[in-house]
């Protein structure tokens, strides 16, 4: 059966993509940030996953404010970059796995989650930047990518607890797939940041540290916070941290911390990186 090798948390800030395209990785502003991903690349090379499920939020590319699904799963064999003006200038598409995606959809919907299933789906920096951070140094994408969009833009957004529960459903779906596939899950977004209003530029380091520790060993703590509480502590865009819980919910209760890194600021945003290795299924 398919199995989850682990999970990774990462920012998907568009400025990161621009820095990669412009070759700024070793400039003083960026060097420490990109250095935090070297152990991630090493771990990925070691576990060698077949599929990457990228949990991210769409930024108006597929879903504008008049129609925003709470959860949307890509069910295509190919995904194209269409992040004009924000994203990385790359033409290479991303190979998907429609058969695997439809299995996920059937299982997750069967567990009482209502998904929007997308047989055509464009991807923006929320998906592209994480993929590039992990594998852009290689000549070709070594994994099939599956976009899994969570609404963190148009309120009401799903609760932290709902996202953790979605992760539990995702794990069951993956582990019921009959073929031998190794899957890594990327929980993207965050950490604390606010891009507008009186609190523009707001960052709360202490809360970010609490969130990272919670995702590692006590996801129930973060899942117990309301959307309002998260926004108060992390800023309006900091609510993206709920997508980390989808990843964490898909892993085993006890995980092995492989790598932890925190950096700020990158484009007025705090960025946290975790690599959590999953325990084998019982």
Q: Quick one: pLDDT at residue 279?
A: 80
Which has the minimum average pLDDT: 36-45, 83-92, 194-203, 243-252? 83-92
Whether 7 and 251 have beta carbons less than 8 Å apart is answered as yes
Q: How far apart are CA 219 and CA 214, in angstroms?
A: 5
pLDDT band at 265 (very low <50, low <70, confident <90, very high): confident
Model confidence over 156-175: pLDDT tens digits? 999 999 999 999 999 999 99
Residue boundaries of the structural domains of the chain:
3-271
pLDDT band at 177 (very low <50, low <70, confident <90, very high): very high
pLDDT band at 85 (very low <50, low <70, confident <90, very high): low
Q: How far apart are CA 178 and CA 102, in angstroms?
A: 13
Compute the 3-state secondary structure of the chain and give helix, strand, coil in percent, each to the nearest 5: 40, 20, 40
Fold held by 3-271 = Protocatechuate 4,5-dioxygenase; Chain B (3.40.830)
Strand partners, 259: 275
Strand partners, 122: 80
Model confidence over 7-60: pLDDT tens digits? 999 999 989 988 998 999 999 999 999 999 999 999 999 999 999 999 999 999
Long-range Cβ contacts of 215-221 (<8 Å, 24+ apart) = 215/9, 215/187, 215/244, 215/245, 215/248, 215/274, 215/276, 216/255, 216/257, 216/260, 216/274, 216/276, 219/164, 219/245, 219/248, 219/249, 220/164
Q: Quick one: pLDDT at residue 2?
A: 96
Model confidence over 126-154: pLDDT tens digits? 999 999 999 999 989 999 999 999 999 99
The residues annotated as belonging to the active site are 125, 193
């Amino acid at each position: 059966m398919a199995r989850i090798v682990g999970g990774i948390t990462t920012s998907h800030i568009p400025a990161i993509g621009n820095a990669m395209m412009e070759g700024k990785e070793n400039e003083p502003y960026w060097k420490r940030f990109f250095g935090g991903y070297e152990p991630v690349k090493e771990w990925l090379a070691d576990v060698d996953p077949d599929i990457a499920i990228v949990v991210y939020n769409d930024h108006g590319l597929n879903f504008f404010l008049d129609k925003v699904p709470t959860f949307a799963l890509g069910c295509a064999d190919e995904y194209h970059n269409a992040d004009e003006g924000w994203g990385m200038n790359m033409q290479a598409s991303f190979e998907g796995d429609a058969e695997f995606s439809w299995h996920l959809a059937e299982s997750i919907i069967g567990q009482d989650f209502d998904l929007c299933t997308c047989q055509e789906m464009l991807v923006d920096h929320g998906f592209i930047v994480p993929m590039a951070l992990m594998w852009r140094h290689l000549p070709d994408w070594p994994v099939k990518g599956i976009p899994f969009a969570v609404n963190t833009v148009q309120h009401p957004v799903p609760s932290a607890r709902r996202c953790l529960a979605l992760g539990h459903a995702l794990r069951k779906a993956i582990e019921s797939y009959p073929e031998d596939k190794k899957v890594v899950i990327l929980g993207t977004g965050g950490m604390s940041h606010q891009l507008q209003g009186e609190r523009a530029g707001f960052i709360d380091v202490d809360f970010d540290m609490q969130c990272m520790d919670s995702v590692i060993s006590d996801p129930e703590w973060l899942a117990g916070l309301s959307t309002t509480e998260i926004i108060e502590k992390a800023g309006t865009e900091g609510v993206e941290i709920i997508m980390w819980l989808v990843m964490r919910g898909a892993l085993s209760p006890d995980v092995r911390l492989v790598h932890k890194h925190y950096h700020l600021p990158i484009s007025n945003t705090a960025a946290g990186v975790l690599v959590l290795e999953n325990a084998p299924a019982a």
